[in-house]
């Protein structure tokens, strides 16, 4: 597989259009198009950026031998857009909707599982109540491919668990971690801030009742290889 084919494969499998990738790298869309048409090759700076963005070493991007191509194809075998769509569906059909709870895998843990028809399986397991910690993870054909750890606590009066579940039901595909950036209902306001991309990220969510912060949660995760 030649470099131009690899670059196109990696971009599509990670869910980027040429315009989106160009914006991420701070270059023109025409440059990306030339890379993928074999009319130009990325300079070292561009290769470093691509390596970090896709989580693939530079040698696996540029080498044309069979072993590197096999490893690259295995890593790129999952379409990120499909995984994100499944993840959003799974989140909306487990804790947020109080559905698909399964037998606890640990003493006093709370566990949920959701299986898709496309080879994906989602698990969510957490410990605690007002102070809690847990992990969400996705498997693809029995292989772990994505995971997110989270830890949060109630820090004020008037916390409403049903409001949090309503927020989590509104998880958007463009921010498939907890809730949307902002969610309002009556006296309650929810904020979510995320740094990074789906393959490697960290974030923070909080809930206010009137002007008082009453809840907070930190989370981080990314692709499992």
* Residue 14 pLDDT greater than 80, yes or no: no
For the 3-77 domain, the top CATH level (class) is: mainly alpha
The pLDDT value given to residue 214: 98
The pLDDT value given to residue 216: 98
φ, ψ for residue 180, nearest 5 deg: -70, 175
φ, ψ for residue 64, nearest 5 deg: -110, 5
- Which helix (H) or strand (E) segment holds residue 110: the answer is strand 109-115
Where in the chain are the domains?
A: 3-77, 81-223
Condensed to tens digits (0 to 9), the pLDDT of residues 37-85 reads 999 999 999 999 998 888 788 888 888 765 555 555 555 567 788 899 9
Mean pLDDT to the nearest integer, 133-160:
96
pTM comes to 0.74
What is the average pLDDT value for the chain, to the nearest integer?
91
């Amino acid at each position: 597989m030649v470099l131009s084919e690899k670059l196109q494969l990696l971009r599509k499998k990670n869910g980027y259009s040429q315009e989106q990738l160009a914006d991420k790298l701070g270059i023109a869309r025409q440059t990306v198009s030339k890379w993928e048409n074999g009319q130009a090759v990325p300079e070292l700076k561009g290769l470093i950026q691509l390596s970090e963005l896709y989580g693939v070493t530079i040698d696996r991007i540029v080498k044309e031998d069979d072993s590197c191509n096999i490893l690259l194809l295995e890593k790129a075998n999952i379409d990120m857009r499909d995984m994100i769509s499944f993840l959003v569906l799974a989140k909306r059909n487990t804790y947020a909707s109080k559905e698909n709870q399964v037998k606890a895998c640990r003493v006093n843990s709370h566990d949920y599982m959701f299986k898709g028809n496309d080879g994906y399986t989602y698990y969510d397991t957490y410990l605690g109540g007002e102070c809690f910690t847990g992990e969400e993870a996705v498997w693809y054909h029995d292989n772990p491919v994505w995971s997110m750890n989270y830890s949060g606590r109630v820090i004020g009066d008037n916390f409403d668990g049903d409001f949090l579940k309503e927020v989590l039901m509104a998880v958007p595909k463009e921010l498939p971690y907890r809730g949307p950036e902002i969610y309002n209902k009556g006296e309650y306001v929810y904020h979510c801030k995320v740094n990074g991309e789906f393959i490697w990220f960290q974030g923070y969510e909080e809930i206010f009742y009137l002007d008082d912060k009453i809840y907070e949660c930190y989370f981080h995760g990314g692709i499992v290889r």
